[in-house]
Amino acid sequence: MKKIFVILVVVIGFGIDAGAQVCKISGSNDNVEVMSCYIVGNQVVVNVSNDSNDIMANVTVSVTVKYSSANGTNCGTIEIPLNGKGLANAGKYTEIKIDIPVKNGYKPCEVTPKSITGTKCL
């Protein structure tokens, strides 16, 4: 029984870690990480954090937006991938905004971050 519990904890821990969106800045021990991702109106707002004290990084974040019908049911009826770019300032949080395309009869209901990449990232 103990072995099953330990295996379950390890698998859950791996799943949580695998979901993190992190971009390691090459030549350093610093990272740019997606901290939050949410919908405001017809935009996705992605907050990234750069833990470097002196290295800025141009980053691209990829997200998937799900739409529901106009009455708000069946979230995920339509899914589209979107990308946004921004400069992750050293030692700061940066907001990257991505416009969501309008789909007649549908509204955005959910967003999921997929990846973060950058010109200085490994």
Tens-digit pLDDT profile for residues 42-87 = 999 999 999 999 999 999 999 999 999 877 778 988 999 999 999 9
Of the candidates 97, 111, 96, 90, which has an alpha carbon nearest to the alpha carbon of residue 32?
90
Q: Taking the CB of residue 78, how many other CB atoms lie within 10 A of it?
A: 16
Task: Find the mean pLDDT for residues 86-113.
Answer: 93
Which pLDDT score, from 0 to 100, does residue 122 have?
A: 60
Task: Find the mean pLDDT for residues 38-44.
Answer: 95
Q: CA-CA distances (angstroms) from residue 65 to 91, 99, 101, 107, 116?
A: 29, 11, 10, 10, 16
Which pLDDT score, from 0 to 100, does residue 11 have?
A: 34
Q: Would you say residue 33 has pLDDT above 70?
A: yes
Which pLDDT score, from 0 to 100, does residue 69 have?
A: 86
Q: What is the DSSP letter of 101?
A: P
Which pLDDT score, from 0 to 100, does residue 19 have?
A: 56
> Counting every residue, how long is the chain?
122
> Quick check: pTM over 0.85?
no
**Token pair of 67 as six digits:** 């739409």
Helix (H) or strand (E) holding 6: helix 2-18
Indicate the average pLDDT of the chain: 83
Percent of the chain topping pLDDT 90: 58
Which residues, 6 or more positions from 120, have their beta carbon under 8 angstroms from its beta carbon?
25, 26, 27, 55, 57, 58
